[in-house]
Amino acid sequence: MTTRTQVAIIGAGPSGLLLGQLLHKAGISNVILERQSGDYVLGRIRAGILEQVTVDLLKEAGVGERVGREGIVHHSIELVFAGARHPIDVHGLTGGKVVTAYGQTELTRDLMEARQAQGLTTVYEAANVSLHGFDGDQPVVRYQKDGATHELQCDFIAGCDGFHGVSRATVKDSISEFERVYPFGWLGVLADVPPVSPHAIVYGNSDRGFSLCSMRSLSRSRYYVQCPLDDKVEDWSDQRFWDELRRRVDPELADKIVTGPSIEKSIAPLRSFVAEPMRFGRLFLAGDAAHIVPPTGAKGLNLAATDVKYLSGAFIEYYLEHSAAGIDTYSQRCLRRIWKAERFSWWLTSLMHRFPDTAGFGQRIQEAELDYLVNSKAASTSLAENYVGLPL
């Protein structure tokens, strides 16, 4: 069967769903093709911290009501090292900026529900998606659904299909890739227990490795510990996880951690990655399809949102103002912001984790930098302004 739309969007993660919503609001038709089922997409536990630019974009897309009500605003973060906790007053240091704790799952659910309520087409379980003709004026996306082959004709293709998607793979010969893979992973646990630090995310550096105390709500916590890459989730009983987390924070916080059965436990590798450029004729990459950051700076989802802000703006300019200026500068504008977030995420990862060579000199350098960071207003301000998100 052949159908037509203005923008074909590959992937129903946060990037694809947010783009679809913003385009729809501007009267631009779009269809989303997603490889997985909706439930599968909602089952992935990922990001938790939103910059103000992301919250504002959700509002602009008409889905900002629940994040406004249920999102938990954080004015500060805390750094734990050498057994003591140090607050960084992000709000004060940035002239009033904050971040919001709100799970990626909830954000995705809000976007999916809005899309469904508006009767917009999302094809879940679309198999063998392939992209054609984006070098010319008439791109086509082919896919299979329920055993039948379908063809979607469009003006533009938005590749919002994540790191393992088909979009970047389709143009791999025209791409320059920049990558750093880290020699450890994050073991994450989700549990229905009150967060140990409800008003600040706690980032911990210890000689046993990195730890992170985060949250999804006042009754649901998200915690992480750095672990070897070849560890298996089965190696980590809940008890082992809680014991390890407690050893990596200061004694006062350790005492306050409320434990309970995990409702999700997974190990994620850490990677920095950028693909350049992000535009190929009428194909555009956005979000994790084009770049990955290690989660230490909480930047991945927020970068995806800013790509989508630029891309939706570019399409709106094209259709409503008949200007290709936004399209022509898309890649360059995104990459400028992306590289700054890559730098910040790499830096914070390097500062907070134990690397194979951290012992000795490396450890003293980390300790000195952390001491400088919490005692110098200039250094704390630099951390704070990157954490809340640099200006667009």
| Residue positions annotated with a catalytic role | 74, 203, 295, 299, 387
Of 214 and 366, CB closest to ligand PHB = 214
Q: Is residue 35 involved in binding ligand RFL (CB under 6 A)? A: yes
Of 97 and 361, CB closest to ligand RFL = 97
296 binds, among ligand PHB, ligand RFL, none (CB under 5 to 8 A by kind): ligand PHB
Of 187 and 253, CB closest to ligand RFL = 187
Of 283 and 351, CB closest to ligand PHB = 351
Q: Is residue 374 involved in binding ligand PHB (CB under 6 A)? A: no
Q: Is residue 49 involved in binding ligand PHB (CB under 6 A)? A: yes
Q: How far is the CB of 298 from ligand PHB (least distance, A)?
A: 4
Chain residues 165-204 in contact with ligand RFL, contact rule CB under 6 A: 165-166, 186, 188
Q: Is residue 278 involved in binding ligand RFL (CB under 6 A)? A: no
Q: How far is the CB of 81 from ligand PHB (least distance, A)?
A: 16
CB atoms within 10 A of CB 375: 10
Of 214 and 386, CB closest to ligand PHB = 214
Q: How far is the CB of 300 from ligand PHB (least distance, A)?
A: 8
Q: Is residue 71 involved in binding ligand RFL (CB under 6 A)? A: no
Q: Is residue 153 involved in binding ligand RFL (CB under 6 A)? A: no
Chain residues 285-304 in contact with ligand RFL, contact rule CB under 6 A: 287-288, 295, 298-302, 304
Q: Is residue 295 involved in binding ligand PHB (CB under 6 A)? A: yes
- Residue choice 222, 248, 279, 353 for contact with ligand PHB (CB under 6 A): 222
Q: What is the 3-state secondary structure (H, E, C) of the chain?
A: CEEECCEEEECCCHHHHHHHHHHHHCCCCEEEECCCCHHHHHHCCCCCEEEHHHHHHHHHCCCCHHHHHHCEEECEEEEEECCEEEEECHHHHCCCCCEEECCHHHHHHHHHHHHHHCCCCEECCCEEEEEECCCCCCCEEEEEECCEEEEEECCEEEECCCCCCHHHHHCHHHCEEEEEEEEEEEEEEEECCCCCCCCEEEEEECCCCCEEEEEEECCEEEEEEEECCCCCHHHCCHHHHHHHHHHCCCHHHHHHCCCCCEEEEEEEEEEEEEEECCEECCEEECHHHCEECCHHHCCHHHHHHHHHHHHHHHHHHHHHHCCCHHHHHHHHHHHHHHHHHHHHHHHHHHHHCCCCCHHHHHHHHHHHHHHHHHHCHHHHHHHHHHHHCCCC
205 binds, among ligand RFL, ligand PHB, none (CB under 5 to 8 A by kind): none
Residue type at 63 in one-letter notation: V
Count, residues near ligand PHB per rule CB under 6 A? 10
Q: How far is the CB of 134 from ligand RFL (least distance, A)?
A: 15
- Residues with Cβ within 8 Å of 259's Cβ and at least 6 positions away in sequence, in order, are 191, 193, 238, 242
Q: Is residue 104 involved in binding ligand RFL (CB under 6 A)? A: yes
Q: How far is the CB of 117 from ligand PHB (least distance, A)?
A: 28
195 binds, among ligand PHB, ligand RFL, none (CB under 5 to 8 A by kind): none
Contacts with ligand PHB by CB under 6 A lie at 47-49, 201, 212, 214, 222, 295-296, 298
